[in-house]
Structure 1
Amino acid sequence: MNDTPVGASTSDIPDKPNLFEKLFDSATEDIDQALPWYKLPKVLGLVELIGIRNTLREKNLYDTSRLPAVNAVVPPPYDEKYVTERAPDGSWNDLVHPEMGMAGTRFGRNVPLEETRPDRDRMLEPSPREISRRLMTRTELIPASAGNVLIAAWLQFMIRDWFRHGTSPTDNPWIIPLAPDDDWPAPPLTVMRTPPDPTTPPDSEYPPTYVNIMTHWWDGSQIYGNTLDDQQFLREHEGGRMRLVDGAPPIPDDPAKNPTHVSGFWLGLGMLQSLFIQEHNAICAMLADAHPEFDDESLFQHARLILSGLLAKIHTVEWTPAVTAHPTAVEALHANWWGLEGERLHDAFGRLTSGEIVSGIPGGTTEDFGVPFALTEEFVAVYRMHPLIPDHFDFRSVATDAETLGPREFDSLAGPAGLEALKANRLVDLLYTFGTENPGLVTLHNFPKYLQTFTRPDTGALMDLAATDILRCRELGVPRYTAFRRLLHLPVPSSFDELSSNTEWVEELRAVYDDDLDSVDLIAGMFAEDRPEGFAFSDTAFRIFILMASRRLNSDRFFTTHFTDEVYTPEGMKWIDDNTMRSVLVRHCPELEPYVGKLDNAFALWSRAGAKA
């Protein structure tokens, strides 16, 4: 009899933990129930995090790719170049299973598939709009006081690399009832449904699955696109370089392919795309000097590998520590890249062992932990962090701290207007402004007001993104808060009083959810949680980070067995080792050096002109 859980892989099963490993993981799980990692001394907290990750790897990876399918995407024929180049569509990263992680393949899950059937009877209960109005509405920004708004821009920049469900069908939308006192300007409030999985057979008995139209890999697709046609359009076709038009990425003539018309584009995203296109071109110039034998194609492909590696490093050792600035979490995230041996030893001696705990994941062995790699719907859910975005921006010049654009509201910086603002202003001034202003904390009552009445740039339709986030998690079968914590082996609150130390929030949650604790949505519960010291978001969300931040590196051979001088070039590996977000900013905007040059982390709040550090 096959007792493999529904959706779990039936091949490539890794060796089961030995007795000592089982005892260790069980012990850390038990301790975590009573004393979470962030309340322990650093060394003990790190040990607990190792055990938590082991447990999550064993119990919280579920495969949807091997469920019955029709019309599945087919990888291109094998070409020897794929051994050392990232394919445009993400295929052939795994040379045995070339479809793994390519654009158009399914999202995986971090909870058992039988737990992901949407509860159709409660899809609109309680009303997502009332949750938005009564629990999410921001009256004034609750700041993440240690960070800067580049944190919010970077998050959107990464999301554009990782996942997108595609364009929603316009027929049969969700229609959310409105309360009598609701001032929604264009009744009714509708939310378009997530596009169905085109690979699902008719009358499938399994829970619904959905596809990711982006590649699942950490491969810079927010810069390079997800198809060969995208790439060809974006490239100069000389010297490996990519194009910039008036300081911004080029825009296709076809309105349907205009990236500024897609929900989610804003000035912050465009700024980072422009900055890292410049970084790609700088890498090409470096490689051309070191390797005059490289042609345009070789320069482009090597630069893509190098830049993707640098992006992954920045996210791992700079961005994530900036939003999870607890000393234990920072140490753990640095260990993902350099291991517990640390950056200095790693730079001096390289990998001291083959193991990831001592020497980090990059350059180690490729490991899927028995389940084909895919990003997951739960990963998407915990990255719904719109409260990071402020409503108000005060644009100032780096030279004088005087106004350039002047005060602007977020709604004037989204969609095509964001592109116009990018083209009309110096990138250095825009970056300076973002670096010297705070993002928001990911909490209740801190949702950007302009995203509660957001106008889609492509259709002109009004959206409440707070309500949409709630409904989207329900629609995609992401478990609600108490079930989610139980499935992630976390203590489950037994009363509303245990959701938060903020007694006012507790009463608001109790009223909105009609005293039904198990109905509390994942996002509402996570936003209400007391956060670990230094965190901008919840420990519940961090559990998915613990699992998936490592997995994105573990499963990608370009970060493991092929993270070598032979594939990247020695100069490319050195570029990744030597560079940070801080050095990228200063290379392309030297005027920023007085503000970021002495910072440990460029995502920390910068000093302003006249108050230089």
Structure 2
Amino acid sequence: MGRAHNGSAGRTTPRSADKTGTASWFVQLHNELALAVDHKIGWQNLPKALGMLTLIGLRDNLRRRNLFDTSTYPARNLPPIGPPEPRHLTERTADGTYNDLANPRMGMTGSRFGRNAPPERSFPETEPQIMTPSPREVSRAVLTRHEFVPAESVNALVAAWLQFMIRDWVSHGQGMVDRSWHIQLADDDPWPVRPMLVPRTLADPTRPDGDDGLPPTFINEKSHWWDASQLYGDDLAAQRQLRTGEDGKLKVPRNGSLFSDDPERDPASVPGFWVGLAMMHTLFILEHNAICDRLRGEYPGWSDEEIFQRARLITAALIAKIHTVEWTPAVISHPTMVTGMRVNWFGVLGERVHRLFGRISSSEVLSGIVGGRTDHFGVPFSLTEEFVAVYRMHPLVPDDWSFRSVADNSLLQEATFRDLAGRHAYEILGKHTLPDLFYSFGTSHPGLVTLHNYPKFLQEFQRPDGKLTDLGAVDILRIRELGVPRYNEFRRLLHLPPAKDFESLTDDPVWADELRRVYEGDIERVDLMVGMFAEPRPTGFAFSDTAFRIFVLMASRRLNSDRFLTKDYTPQVYTQTGLDWIENNSMASVLLRHFPQLRSSMKSVNNAFAPWKVSSPAR
């Protein structure tokens, strides 16, 4: 176990969360039994109660063995952080500082990604191994979508929502264009520029020069906390630009532009902007403002700043709740997981007991994580490179879209994803109403996260600067570049058995032959993303069980570590009005508050991310 590093030069041993020496023998026995049962039977094949017990044991194992702290690595040029002020007790800061009052840098904008793999397994491969096999050839051979494979249990809002979350959680920045990776192309590759150039990930500016024997680190340009920074900005200057200055409210988009008075902050200038993302931004700007109206009515003497700060807390917590108890159970709709995610929020005693009596136990299993004690499990909180890797789920995005009227399902427009991306998104937003757009997403399916289902328009993606890139190849290269292990090694580190051969990796014999050719018969070279896309999925899952293991660990950790979702989830911080708003609302109620035209179509669903009813044609 290493010591916390104060930023001076020198070498430290990175901390992990291994608490084997202090864990009770019963907990250790349960955890080891959970691993054995999972290997022998599989948690997903057990009755719900036994499956839940197994998952709890698997999560405990991951907490003890798969949290590694990169903030202990040598550091320099860290910005000065003063002691906490009284306002920090009840406010989220613009840059994520002071969430942990004893360690105010923890999780702030510009801090390092952590790791779920140990340091000795986190070194990126060097050339030529890092280019083997060619990321472009992997993309062409096993990612290319020949026919759209839908995820029929959910609607297309799950794709828009996920990117809305990613914009809050993680960003490595735009990369170093002057130091690009060169991907050599096959003779028959139609790519217009040779070689394919991919900007390298930005180096960590807080890392001293010189070889300290530790793997490279990378900076998150976002706050690591679940604080809705995609709505509120990553620094105080950006936040001020987004606010009206009256009654705590945010500026509502005009003609689709989220920053119409500041072109330099226009999100269409950043890769990845599309109409689905703009829709989610607009919806939750409206929701924030609705919360402000409620707070103004309850507390007429409050200033603009007081209303804004409480409304931000409430909005961020509502978003975290929606992701935990609605989005996640929709995309991994196995019965054990549907219950498990609700347990994270409400505990096994359930929502009804929670509403009647509040927390009746300090146990997160009985009464949920939210409102309980804050716990970092021995390692300062950060999101991890492995977390970023498993959330590369571009197959969720369809290539072809139909926009229809919520009134009668009449066709308004057919479009490709290219028509929805970048500045083209503003044309869609100007042409159609938000109720029609949300209806169109709600009655459409996203793609299944699997091989041969990568969007063709993302394999020929035009960046805002006009340059083309194959995001499939970029995804493959990025995971290698950031030192995330390849598929089999990744599974070993997560206490899962590796694939013995290509036939045991996938149940599709055609895919097994394709993968054998691409990786020249070496199962150990299969890329993490490719292996996750290839492996059989548990019932109800839109993505892989391997990715799910990181999710089991990090989904609860984001709640456990955040004091605003644990010990400070109180009426004194949120107000009772705020807590009631969070507890009494869902994605469906948010949508219907702002777009009541959707009510008829949404009557058919209990979860807003499930497919909606198609409107009846007018007679």
RMSD: 1.9
Q: Indicate yes or no: 2:19 matched with 1:16.
A: no
Corresponding position of 1:75: 81
Q: TM-score, normalised by structure 1?
A: 0.97
Q: Indicate yes or no: 2:341 matched with 1:333.
A: yes
Q: Indicate yes or no: 2:382 matched with 1:374.
A: yes
Q: Of residues 137, 142, 161 in structure 2, which corresponds to 1:154?
A: 161
Q: Indicate yes or no: 2:96 matched with 1:96.
A: no
Corresponding position of 2:276: 268
Corresponding position of 2:187: 180
Distance 1:267 1:90, change over 3 A: same
Q: Is the 8 A contact 1:339 1:357 kept in 2?
A: yes
Question: What does the per-residue CA deviation read over 1:213-264, in whole Å, with 9 as the maximum and x for residues that have no partner?
Answer: 1000000001000111111110011011110132645326665532211111
* Deviation larger for 517-526 or 3-12: 3-12
Distance 1:11 1:439, change over 3 A: closer
**C-alpha distance in 2 between matches for 1:532 and 1:354:** 32
Q: Is the 8 A contact 1:14 1:369 kept in 2?
A: no
Q: Is the 8 A contact 1:165 1:212 kept in 2?
A: yes
Corresponding position of 1:362: 370
**C-alpha distance in 2 between matches for 1:519 and 1:45:** 32
SS state at 1:236 partner: coil
**C-alpha distance in 1 between matches for 2:256 and 2:102:** 38
SS state at 1:395 partner: strand
Corresponding position of 1:528: 534
Corresponding position of 1:515: 521
**C-alpha distance in 2 between matches for 1:300 and 1:534:** 39
**C-alpha distance in 1 between matches for 2:18 and 2:478:** 32
Distance 1:256 1:147, change over 3 A: same
Question: What does the per-residue CA deviation read over 1:310-335, in whole Å, with 9 as the maximum and x for residues that have no partner?
Answer: 00000000001111000001111111
Q: Structure 1 residue runs of 4+, over 6 Å off?
A: 1-6, 10-15
Corresponding position of 1:28: 34
Q: TM-score, normalised by structure 2?
A: 0.96
**C-alpha distance in 2 between matches for 1:173 and 1:256:** 25
**C-alpha distance in 2 between matches for 1:421 and 1:10:** 48
1:75-474 aligned within 5 A:
75=81, 78-121=84-127, 122-205=129-212, 206-246=214-254, 248=256, 250-251=258-259, 256-404=264-412, 406-457=413-464, 459-474=465-480
Corresponding position of 1:592: 598
**C-alpha distance in 1 between matches for 2:525 and 2:184:** 18
Question: What does the per-residue CA deviation read over 1:134-163, in whole Å, with 9 as the maximum and x for residues that have no partner?
Answer: 100001210000111100000000000000
**C-alpha distance in 2 between matches for 1:212 and 1:93:** 16
Q: Is the 8 A contact 1:108 1:374 kept in 2?
A: yes
**C-alpha distance in 2 between matches for 1:340 and 1:376:** 28
**C-alpha distance in 1 between matches for 2:116 and 2:604:** 40
* Deviation larger for 198-207 or 575-584: 198-207
**C-alpha distance in 2 between matches for 1:294 and 1:12:** 46
SS state at 2:383 partner: coil
SS state at 1:212 partner: coil
* Total equivalences in the alignment: 610
Question: What does the per-residue CA deviation read over 1:152-198, in whole Å, with 9 as the maximum and x for residues that have no partner?
Answer: 00000000000001121111211111111111133321111000000
SS state at 1:120 partner: coil
Letter in 2 for 1:111: A
Question: What does the per-residue CA deviation read over 1:348-380, in whole Å, with 9 as the maximum and x for residues that have no partner?
Answer: 111121110011000000000000000000000
Question: What does the per-residue CA deviation read over 1:276-314, in whole Å, with 9 as the maximum and x for residues that have no partner?
Answer: 000000000111111112111111000000000000000
Question: What does the per-residue CA deviation read over 1:31-73, in whole Å, with 9 as the maximum and x for residues that have no partner?
Answer: 1111110011111100000000000000000000111011123
Q: Is the 8 A contact 1:530 1:538 kept in 2?
A: yes
**C-alpha distance in 1 between matches for 2:83 and 2:405:** 51
Identical pairs, percent: 52
Q: Is the 8 A contact 2:15 2:69 kept in 1?
A: yes
**C-alpha distance in 1 between matches for 2:20 and 2:585:** 35
Q: Indicate yes or no: 2:69 matched with 1:63.
A: yes
Distance 1:256 1:193, change over 3 A: farther
Question: What does the per-residue CA deviation read over 1:9-41, in whole Å, with 9 as the maximum and x for residues that have no partner?
Answer: 389979821111111111111111111100111
Q: Indicate yes or no: 2:511 matched with 1:505.
A: yes
**C-alpha distance in 1 between matches for 2:617 and 2:537:** 31
* Deviation larger for 242-251 or 11-20: 11-20
Question: What does the per-residue CA deviation read over 1:58-110, in whole Å, with 9 as the maximum and x for residues that have no partner?
Answer: 00000001110111233355321011000000000000000000000000000
**C-alpha distance in 2 between matches for 1:77 and 1:353:** 33
SS state at 1:204 partner: coil
Gaps of 5+ in 1: none
**C-alpha distance in 2 between matches for 1:204 and 1:71:** 18
